[in-house]
Amino acid sequence: MAAAFALGLSAPAYADEKVEMKDLPAAVQKTIQDYLAGGTVTGIDKESENGKTSYSADVKKPNGERVEIKVAEDGKLIKAEGDEKEVEQEGEHEGED
């Protein structure tokens, strides 16, 4: 019982929450729209990791290709993967060396 109680108090360092496009900050919506390229958003997760929030959108392009777009809370693109021009900017917006 004590173990269950202790586990209940510890918050995970990483958490996902399903959200809808209308619930996103305007800057995040704009970045996702810019990368849709005529595709459709099939799902969005709000991700919190170590106190930082980002959004991951799953996109299905008109040709059937699936792409994941990860956007910071301020609207900056963090990563777009699944297409021929993968963009990786992880850590750049955090001021890491």
Lowest mean pLDDT among 48-52, 56-60, 67-71: 48-52
Does the reported pTM lie above 0.75?
Answer: no
Query: pLDDT tens for residues 9-55?
Result: 444 555 689 999 999 999 999 999 998 888 999 999 999 988 899 99
Report angle CA 85, 88, 91 to the nearest 5 degrees: 170
Q: Using 50, 70 and 90 to split pLDDT, how confident is the model at 84?
A: low
Give dist(CA 80, CA 57) in Å, integer: 9
Please tell me the predicted confidence (pLDDT) of residue 90. Answer: 44
Asked if the model's pLDDT at residue 77 lies above 80, the reply is yes
How is residue 94 annotated by DSSP? Answer: G
Give dist(CA 36, CA 45) in Å, integer: 16
Partnered with residue 48 across adjacent β-strands are 15, 53
Please tell me the predicted confidence (pLDDT) of residue 15. Answer: 65
Taking residues 61-73, report their average pLDDT.
93
Taking residues 87-92, report their average pLDDT.
46
Whether 63 and 80 have beta carbons less than 8 Å apart is answered as no
Helices (H) and strands (E) in the chain, counts: 2, 6
Fold type of domain 13-89: Nuclear Transport Factor 2; Chain: A, (3.10.450)
For the chain, the structural domain boundaries read: 13-89
